[in-house]
Amino acid sequence: MDAVRVAREAKRQELLLQLAELMVEDQVEEGVFLETPHYSVIELAAMNLGHQLSRQAQQRAAREVAARCPAEANCPTCDAACVVQTQTRQVRSLSGPVEMTETVAHCRRCRRSFCLPSEAGKPSRCLPATSPRPWGRESDLQGRRWPTAGSEGSNRRLMERSASEA
């Protein structure tokens, strides 16, 4: 690890310790330790903390993906150049609801919207309203089934969303 990574790891450890400390401070205030708590009380609070961190990390990473998306994309149907815009919507992640930033372009000629980015610059399928991860290759999932993705697993390369849904 180079110096930058070492510093980042040290900072991560420090912040994790601080988060754990804050969780315990909350529990002390709530009187959790007035008697010896059942371990599940501690574990549930810790898992909740982890989910909060997960949601923040997902939101941040989604913004990063959106920020790296090109300003224009060609319509998958008519190949016209379309302006790419960002929007947010709430999706259900494994850690709970996430305010997801995503990039969508609208083709005036076809009166359709399509989602970005995706593999090899092709527009990707716009997933249903509550599904996360509307980009990337199927292999990124590494065999994991996403509970809200349902039957949307295959053929996600190309799908347009009608203007009425956009």
Asked whether position 110 contacts Zn ion by CB under 5 A, the answer is yes
**Amino acid letter, residue 32:** V
- Cross-strand pairs, 85: 104
Asked whether position 75 contacts Zn ion by CB under 5 A, the answer is yes
Peptide bond into 117 cis (omega under 30): yes
Asked whether position 78 contacts Zn ion by CB under 5 A, the answer is yes
The three-state secondary structure class of 147 is: coil
Asked whether position 46 contacts Zn ion by CB under 5 A, the answer is no
For residues 129 and 161, what is the distance between their CA atoms, to the nearest angstrom? 11
Asked whether position 108 contacts Zn ion by CB under 5 A, the answer is no
Task: Figure out which of the listed residues 107, 115, 116, 127 binds Zn ion, where binding follows CB under 5 A.
Answer: 107
Residue with the CB atom nearest Zn ion in the bound state? 75
Task: Figure out which of the listed residues 8, 109, 111, 137 binds Zn ion, where binding follows CB under 5 A.
Answer: 109
DSSP letter at 109 equals T
Window contacting Zn ion (CB under 5 A); options: 47-55, 74-82, 137-145, 153-161: 74-82
Residue 66 CA from chain centroid, whole number? 11
Asked whether position 100 contacts Zn ion by CB under 5 A, the answer is no
> How far apart are CB 150 and Zn ion at their closest, in Å?
28
Q: Using DSSP, how many helices (H) and how many strands (E) does the chain show?
A: 2, 5
DSSP letter at 124 equals B
- Taken in order 88, 90, 92, 96, is the CA torsion positive or negative? positive
Asked whether position 104 contacts Zn ion by CB under 5 A, the answer is no
Asked whether position 105 contacts Zn ion by CB under 5 A, the answer is no
Window contacting Zn ion (CB under 5 A); options: 53-61, 62-70, 100-108, 155-163: 100-108
Query: Interface residues with Zn ion (CB under 5 A)?
Result: 75, 77-78, 80, 107, 109-110
